[in-house]
Amino acid sequence: MQSSPSLYLADNRLNTTELTIRDKVRAGIRLTDDDALALYESENLPFLGALAHEVRTRKHGLNAYFNRNFHIEPTNICIYTCAFCAFARRPGEDGGWEYRLDEIEDIVRAYDGKPITEVHIVGGVHPKRGVDYYGEMIQRIKAIRPDIHVKGFTAVELRVMFARSKMTTEQGLLALREYGLDSLPGGGAEIFHPEIRSQICDTKADTENWLHIHETAHKLGIPSNCTMLYGHIEQYRHRVHHLSLLRNLQDRTGGFNTFIPLKFRDDNNDLSYVGETTVIEDLKNYAVSRLYLDNIAHIKAYWPMIGKTTTQMALSYGVDDVDGTIDDSTKIYSMAGSEEQTPKMSTPELIQLIRQAGLIPIERDTLYNVLHDYSKETFAEPAA
């Protein structure tokens, strides 16, 4: 018989530091960086999970969110060679691809008659493509699916795209919005601390660029997500530094929809020697993220990266979102050895995953507007 989470938060089970943090969280007092570091260093995983679950329940009740989405990765040709990346290829290198715009249209048309609400577009940082090229891509997608939400391009891609088009950040974002861009994903953040960033991705957009692009987007009314790549050569203090910069930016703008911790996978890259974190460490990271990021509404477990089983467990460690159907449309993480080599889940499978965790499946759109509440009824896929 499983113990109640509240049991792990009882006074007689906690040390002085844990009691202080528990009481601060319950009183709505913001955790400090030292508190976050203490949580990361704690070996009391049941405490972390129970407290994080208490916070996610306070924010979202028993709701757990998902959406119906697919990815487009227009190219893996990239000017950068990040140490952790198994996806990118140099121009002319074996294994590279560059979709033509008509091929992009074919990908979108494959979803005719299907109730998809979001397309997620990210890829390599191509040496020759600028704002107008990607803008036309968005226009063609919207011509086929006018109501679809286009979430596109990491800050790393945007920085080079804007430079190639001789645009400022604001000019470039306004142009893309005019073409039909609806929001930004959170990729490219990796780890913000310069000690680590200089070792794993020293040539691409630096911390200040990433934060500037997202802050500008928020000020223009373009929401975004945020991420952290963890489990490689960083230490806990580097994670806390990263989270603090995200929390500070959210204080200024309120523009982040969700935070997604991204687990480092060790296949086919220059950091393979590091190995990967344990599931215990993954769950700890979700819990600390939920407790520290008090101003970001949602914490997402990206199931193609960590697998369905860990995702289901994460729903008891502060996570309230499991991403979407994906439809085997991404190679970024499968090429690095992610848990799911063919990432695809149907809507009934996502509903079952959430229900088995004792939570209520809620289908959302990209901005977390509720599209369907599956708290009572069964699911039947509509005829195409």
Q: What is the pLDDT of residues 167-181, one digit of tens each?
A: 999 999 999 999 999
Using the predicted structure, report yes or no on whether residue 89 has a pLDDT greater than 90: no
Secondary structure of residue 330 in the 3-state scheme: coil
Q: Which residue ranges make up each domain of the chain?
A: 60-373
CA nearest to 136, candidates 160, 157, 111, 105: 105
Cα–Cα distance measured from residue 140 to residue 143, given in angstroms and rounded to the nearest whole number: 5
Give the CATH number of domain 60-373; options: 3.30.460.80, 3.40.50.1460, 3.20.20.70, 3.50.30.30: 3.20.20.70
Cα–Cα distance measured from residue 321 to residue 122, given in angstroms and rounded to the nearest whole number: 20
Section 297-303 average pLDDT: 95
Q: What is the pLDDT of residues 105-145, one digit of tens each?
A: 999 999 998 999 999 999 877 677 889 999 999 999 999 99
Mean pLDDT of the chain: 88
Cα–Cα distance measured from residue 318 to residue 311, given in angstroms and rounded to the nearest whole number: 11
DSSP of 53-98: HHHHHHHHTTEEEEE-EEEE--B-B-S---TT-SS-B-TT-TT--B
Q: What is the pLDDT of residues 320-329, one digit of tens each?
A: 999 988 764 4
Section 228-256 average pLDDT: 97
Global pTM value? 0.90
Using the predicted structure, report yes or no on whether residue 87 has a pLDDT greater than 60: no
Using the predicted structure, report yes or no on whether residue 186 has a pLDDT greater than 50: yes
Residue 171, pLDDT score: 98
* Predicted confidence band of residue 340 (pLDDT cuts 50, 70, 90): very low
Residue 384, pLDDT score: 40
Q: Which amino acid is at 292?
A: Y
Cα–Cα distance measured from residue 129 to residue 169, given in angstroms and rounded to the nearest whole number: 16
Are the C-beta atoms of residues 98 and 129 closer than 8 Å to each other?
Answer: no
Nearest-Å Rg of the Cα atoms of the chain is 20
Residue 95, pLDDT score: 59
**Window from 45-54, 116-125, 201-210 with minimum mean pLDDT:** 201-210
Give the percent of the chain with pLDDT over 90.
68
Cα–Cα distance measured from residue 154 to residue 384, given in angstroms and rounded to the nearest whole number: 33
Q: Which residue has the higher pLDDT, 11 or 225?
A: 225
